[in-house]
Structure 1
Amino acid sequence: MAAPSRLLPRLVRPRQHYLSSRRAFQTSTQSSIIPSYAFAFDIDGVLLRSSNPIPGAHDALTYLQRNRIPFILLTNGGGKSETERVEELSYKLDVELNVDMFVQSHTPFAEMHEYKDKTVLVVGGDHDKCQRVATEHYDFTSVVTPGDLVAAYPDIWPFSSVFKDYYSSFAKPLPKAINPASPDSLKIDAIFVYNDPRDWGLDSTIILDLLLSSQGRLGTLSKKNGNTSLPNNGYQQDSQPPLYYSNPDLWWASSHPLSRLGQGGFRSAFNGLWKEVTGGAKLEHTIFGKPFQPTYEFAERRLRAHRKQLFGQVGLNDPLRRVYMVGDNPESDIRGANNYQSQHGSQWQSLLVKTGVYQDGTVPSCEPTVIVKDVGEAVRWAVEDAKTM
C-alpha cells in the first residue's frame, strides 16, 4: 500500500558544527554504482541513549550518506509524529534525515484505513500527542483517549483525582455521551496502544471495560461473557473492539543504568489481569513492531522506496540483495531480522551492538550474525562483508 500523503519526505537540515573534526570513517568519492546492500538501524541503544548520541553514530550515518548507501531508521519507539521525531533525530545526530527514511512502531497504523471514519481509542504517550498523530497525520476522524474519558466521567477510575490537572490540560470533548441504556451511546470500534502507557491503572481499566463490553459500548457488560457453550467461554464474542499493540518490547535502554519496562511490560501486566478476570480465557490481540513479519515487510517497502528516490529510475533493476539490521535488543531487532522472510528475496543479517539492552558478556536470547562494539563497528563490519557478495 502506498504511504499516506501526510508522510511524504520532508528534509530536515541539522545544526552545522564539529563535522570537520570527525574522521572515524574514510569517505570515498560518490559513486554512480547502486549498492546491492542497505541498512536498517534501531535508534534507542544504537544511535541514542535516551536523548544523547552514542559515540560514532554521527560518523556512521554520515559515511553511508556520503557514499550513497541507503538506510532507514526502524524503531519500536513512538509517541510523536514522524515529522517531529525526524526533526529531533536530525538535530541530535547532526545528520540530514527525512521522513521517508523513518519507521516507528505505530507508523503502520496509518495504513489501517478501515478505521479512519470510526471512533477509536488511542492509548499511551505523553498528553495528547498520540491522539494528534492519529488525527493530524494519519487522518483518523474520531479519536478518544483514556484522559478524555476520565475528564468527562471521573468515576470511571476512582483514583483519577491524583491526575486531574494533568488530564484536564489536554482532554477533549467526547464525540458522544456514555449512556448504556441508549443505542446512541459512545461506541469504540478499535483500541490502539500507540506508545508506552503512562497511567497503567486507568489505561488497563478502560481497555478491560471495552473488551468485556457489548459491542464496544462503554458501561455495558456482554451477556456472552463466561458462557461455556461459546468459543473462548464467550469472551470477545460480542463484537468487542479489536486490540492492537504497536510493539512488544519488554525493555528499552534509557538514561538509567538498567533497562526500563516498555510497552511489552504493560501488555504482560494486562494479560495477567485478563487471565484473572476471565478465568484464563484467551486474549485476542494483534502486535505490530519488531520482531513481527508485517513490520519488517512495511520497513522493506519503505527502504526500497527510499532507495528508488535516492537513485532515481536508472539501474533499479539491480537487486537489493542484503539488508543489515543493526540493533541492541536480541528479542526484537535480532529475532526479527533472523526470522524475516523477504518477499523480494533480500537476505537480512542481524548485527547486535553492546550499547543498549544487550548486556556484554551474556548469551543473547536470539543469536545474531555478529556481535559488535557499537554502530560504528557495525557499519565497518557490514561494508566489508558486503564485498563478499
Structure 2
Amino acid sequence: MFLPSFSRYTKSCRPERSLRCFCSSSPVLLRDSSLAHAQLHAAGPIGFVFDIDGVLIRGGKRIEAAKPALQLLNHHRIPWILLTNGGGYSEAARTAYLSTLLDVNINPVQLIQSHTPFKGFTKTYRRILAVGGLEDRVRHVARDYGFEDVLIPADIIRSNQSVWPFHGFSADQLNRWALDPSITNVFKKPIDAIMVFNDPRDMGTDIQIIVDYLNSDNGLYGTIRNLHKVSHNHTPSIPIFFSNNDLLWANDFNLPRFGQGQLRIIIERLYQELNNSLTLDSTIFGKPFKSQYDFAHHILIDWYQSLLKNPNLINFNSNSQALKQILPSIGEIPVNSPFNKIYMVGDNPESDIKGANNYGWESCLVRTGVFKDDDLPDLKVKPTMIVDNVYEAIKFVLDINGYI
C-alpha cells in the first residue's frame, strides 16, 4: 500500500523558496464527514482537475500516488476530471486504458484531451487534414467526432511520394494506413482546415504538407496562391488549429522531451520565410489558454450535476453505458458555477499552473513530472503549493477544506 510523506509541505512553503502556500485562505468548510460519504457537498463544494502525464502516469506506467489519490476523492464523492494536452485517441479508448492502468473507474465524460474542443467544429469544416498520432488513429478520432471527410499526411504521400521523398512510411504502412488516391482526390478536392490533434510522428512529412496547404490556392494541394493578390498574408489560405502548445513534456527519460509546441514554432518560422516575415495567424487550444479552461469548467460542472442525479456513476466501467457529453460552445464562459474552489494538479508550470492561476483556480505543482526543485529560481509562475505527488496534494487540500 502506498503511504505518503507529508514532510515536504513545510519545506515547500518556506520563505527562502520565494513561494507561499496560499491555500490557508478561508475556504467554505463542511466538516460533517458522515455527510461527505452520503452526498456531494451542496454548500461550497470543491472540485479537482488533473493533468495526466507527470501527475498520474509517466512513461506509460502508473505513478503509485495516483490510485490512492483518486480513490480518496471518490470516497468523499468529490467531483474530478482529467485535463490533458495529450491526445491521439478517442476519449472512450483513452479512459478505458487509464481505468485499467490506474485501477480506478473513469467515465469518458471526465476526460478532456487537447483536441476534445475540435468536436465543436464538425459543422463548420467538412474536409480536414488531421495531423499527429500513431498510424491512422487520428483519422478514426476525427471521424468519431463527426468530421465527414478526413485526410492524414499518409494519404498525400501515397498519392505522390515526391511530395516529401524523405518520408518514413514503408510501402506496407502506406497500404494499411493511407486511403487509395482514387478516394482521397488529394490534387482535385481542397480541404477546409488543418487540425493538429497530437504530436507528429513523422515531423518532416507533416511540416512539408502543412506548409504547402497554408500557402496553397484556397486549400487545393499542389497549388500556390499569388501573394500579390493576398491582402492579409498573415492569414493562411486555410485555417490551422493546434490542439496544444506544450514545448516540453515528461516521459521516463530523465530530461523533458519536445512536444507539439515544437511543431508550431517550426511551422510559424517557415511561414514567415515564405510570407514577407509576417506572423502566421493560427488558433491554439489546450492549456494554458482560457478557452480550454472555460471548456473544462463546463465539463466539471456537468459531471458534478450528473453525480448529484446518479451517485453510481462513480462506479463506471467499460460495461456501463457512457453518458452523452454536453459540449459547450467554444469560448462560452461558465456561469453560476457551484464550486467554492477548484484545484488544478499539474507538473508543468508553463501550462498546468499558468493556466490555472490565470483562470482563478488554485494550483498544485507536483514533483513527479516536468518540474524539479532546481527550477525554482527561474520559476515564472508561482503555484499555490508544491508537493511531492498527487496524493499529498489531495490529502492536504481535503484537510484544509474540512473533509478529513
Q: Deviations over 1:67-109 (max 9, x none)?
A: 1011001100000111110011001101011111111111111
SS of residue matched to 1:160: coil
Match of 2:328 in 1: none
1:114 to 2:127 alignment: no
Q: Deviations over 1:295-329 (max 9, x none)?
A: 11111111111100111299xx9931110000000
1:43 to 2:42 alignment: no
1:206 to 2:209 alignment: yes
2: CA distance, partners of 1:89 / 1:114? 30
How far is 1:241 from its partner? 1.4
Counterpart contact for 2:268–2:279, Cα < 8 Å: no
How far is 1:236 from its partner? 3.3
How far is 1:370 from its partner? 1.0
Query: Which amino acid is 1:171 matched to?
Result: A
SS of residue matched to 1:150: helix
1:177 to 2:190 alignment: no
Count of residue correspondences? 345
Change in Cα spacing, 1:106 to 1:162, as seen in structure 2 (3 Å) is closer
1:299 to 2:296 alignment: yes
SS of residue matched to 1:209: helix
**After superposition, where does 1:98-113 map in structure 2 within 5 Å?**
98-113=107-122
Q: Deviations over 1:9-45 (max 9, x none)?
A: xxxxxxxxxxxx45669xx651325261010000000
Match of 1:335 in 2: 354
**After superposition, where does 1:181-260 map in structure 2 within 5 Å?**
185-223=188-226, 225=227, 227=228, 231-232=231-232, 234-236=233-235, 240-260=237-257
Query: Which amino acid is 1:248 matched to?
Result: N
Match of 2:174 in 1: 167
Counterpart contact for 2:234–2:281, Cα < 8 Å: no
Change in Cα spacing, 1:256 to 1:62, as seen in structure 2 (3 Å) is same
Match of 2:363 in 1: 350
2: CA distance, partners of 1:70 / 1:81? 22
SS of residue matched to 2:41: coil
Q: Deviations over 1:140-195 (max 9, x none)?
A: 1100001011012111112237644333321113545344xxxxx22010000000
Match of 1:78 in 2: 87
SS of residue matched to 2:399: helix
- The alignment's TM-score, normalised by the length of structure 2, stands at 0.80
How far is 1:58 from its partner? 0.3
Change in Cα spacing, 1:381 to 1:155, as seen in structure 2 (3 Å) is same
SS of residue matched to 2:78: coil
Q: Deviations over 1:34-66 (max 9, x none)?
A: 261010000000000111111211000001001
Change in Cα spacing, 1:89 to 1:176, as seen in structure 2 (3 Å) is closer
Change in Cα spacing, 1:256 to 1:161, as seen in structure 2 (3 Å) is closer
Counterpart contact for 1:86–1:99, Cα < 8 Å: yes
1: CA distance, partners of 2:337 / 2:254? 44
2: CA distance, partners of 1:119 / 1:33? 44
Counterpart contact for 1:76–1:249, Cα < 8 Å: yes
Which residue, out of 383, 392, 403, partners 1:368? 383
- Unpaired runs of at least 5, structure 1: 1-20, 180-184, 341-346
Change in Cα spacing, 1:178 to 1:22, as seen in structure 2 (3 Å) is closer
Q: What percentage of aligned pairs have identical amino acids? A: 40
With 358-367 and 77-86 compared, the bigger mean Cα shift is at: 358-367
Match of 1:147 in 2: 154
Which residue, out of 309, 312, 315, partners 2:309? 312
Change in Cα spacing, 1:235 to 1:301, as seen in structure 2 (3 Å) is closer
Match of 2:141 in 1: 133
With 124-133 and 264-273 compared, the bigger mean Cα shift is at: 264-273
2: CA distance, partners of 1:217 / 1:283? 19
Query: Which amino acid is 1:60 matched to?
Result: A
SS of residue matched to 1:89: helix
**After superposition, where does 1:87-106 map in structure 2 within 5 Å?**
87-106=96-115
- Unpaired runs of at least 5, structure 2: 6-32, 312-335
1: CA distance, partners of 2:159 / 2:47? 49
The structure whose residues are more often helix, as a share, is 2
Change in Cα spacing, 1:214 to 1:125, as seen in structure 2 (3 Å) is same
2: CA distance, partners of 1:362 / 1:207? 35
SS of residue matched to 1:325: strand
Q: Deviations over 1:271-312 (max 9, x none)?
A: 222222223111010000000111111111111111001112
How large is the Cα RMSD of the aligned pairs?
2.2
Which residue, out of 270, 277, 288, partners 1:273? 270
SS of residue matched to 2:177: coil
Counterpart contact for 2:159–2:186, Cα < 8 Å: no
